[in-house]
A and B are shown apart, each in its own frame.
Chain A
Amino acid sequence: DTEVTQTPKHLVMGMTNKKSLKCEQHMGHRAMYWYKQKAKKPPELMFVYSYEKLSINESVPSRFSPECPNSSLLNLHLHALQPEDSALYLCASSHLARNTGELFFGEGSRLTVL
């Protein structure tokens, strides 16, 4: 199983809503990532978790709150977002022992903030 599964595929929310994006992988990868991608741009790193601990936070606004409940799951909690936060949110994982190994991406969650 070489899949990273993201839900939901599409999400529309108002600026006062609270929602969550979910990501799951069963490849035994111990590094998991959240990326944000705007149209026609490359993915931008938001967070990295290694062994379920937050390793990198790329100065992301606090309205984005990551959570790694266990080695297979990664959540991104959303609250009080702005319209400019509308983007494709990609989850990825990689084998921790080879920390420059292949990134396996999910299909992404398309977020629209009204």
Chain B
Amino acid sequence: KNQVEQSPQSLIILEGKNCTLQCNYTVSPFSNLRWYKQDTGRGPVSLTIMTFSENTKSNGRYTATLDADTKQSSLHITASQLSDSASYICVVSATSGTYKYIFGTGTRLKVLA
């Protein structure tokens, strides 16, 4: 069964600190993995995409990693800001062409001043 699990479920950090969010998946055959940021009551916005051959990709203060062998991805946030407070959702696509994107349960991040 295709599944995407994220940890931790929620996280509270102080402004300026770093944090790492985890995503484990069992989707097969794997096409790509995206990290989305969703502010409360808003639609998700893509932060980065990881394909099978990519190990690391950065987007400003966000750095995503992918280990296709262990089927794990992480999202590292550097020097957190108050505006980073949001839910972060890991979304995995399979190459089956069914337009189904498998969503993780998300990590709710709260950055405190």
A binds B: yes
Interface residues of A (CB under 8 A from B): 4, 6, 31, 33, 40-43, 45, 48, 50, 55-56, 88, 90, 92, 94, 99-100, 102-108, 110
| CA A103 to CA B49, docked complex, whole Å | 11
- Report if B55 contacts A (CB, 8 A): no
Residues of B contacting A33 in the complex (Cβ-Cβ under 8 angstroms): 99
Residues of A contacting B34 in the complex (Cβ-Cβ under 8 angstroms): 102-103
- How far, in Å, is B8 (CB) from chain A's closest CB? 14
Partner of A99, one of B46, B97, B106, B108: B97
Residues of A contacting B99 in the complex (Cβ-Cβ under 8 angstroms): 31, 33, 48, 50, 55-56, 94, 99
- How far, in Å, is B65 (CB) from chain A's closest CB? 19
Given contacts A43-B103, A103-B91, contact A108 B43 (CB under 8 A): yes
Can you list, as one digit per residue, whether each of B91-113 has a CB less than 8 Å from chain A (1) or not (0)?
10111011111011110100000
Q: Are A88 and B41 in contact (CB under 8 A)?
A: yes
- How far, in Å, is A3 (CB) from chain B's closest CB? 10
Residues of B contacting A100 in the complex (Cβ-Cβ under 8 angstroms): 31-32, 93-95, 97, 101
| CA A6 to CA B44, docked complex, whole Å | 14
- Report if B1 contacts A (CB, 8 A): no
Given contacts A45-B100, A48-B99, A100-B31, contact A108 B42 (CB under 8 A): yes
**Which interface residue of A40, A56, A102 has the most chain B CB atoms within 10 A?**
A102
- How far, in Å, is B39 (CB) from chain A's closest CB? 10
Q: List 19 A-B contacts (CB under 8 A).
A: A31-B99, A41-B105, A41-B106, A43-B44, A45-B101, A55-B99, A56-B98, A90-B44, A94-B99, A99-B99, A100-B94, A100-B95, A100-B97, A100-B101, A102-B34, A103-B91, A103-B101, A108-B42, A110-B41
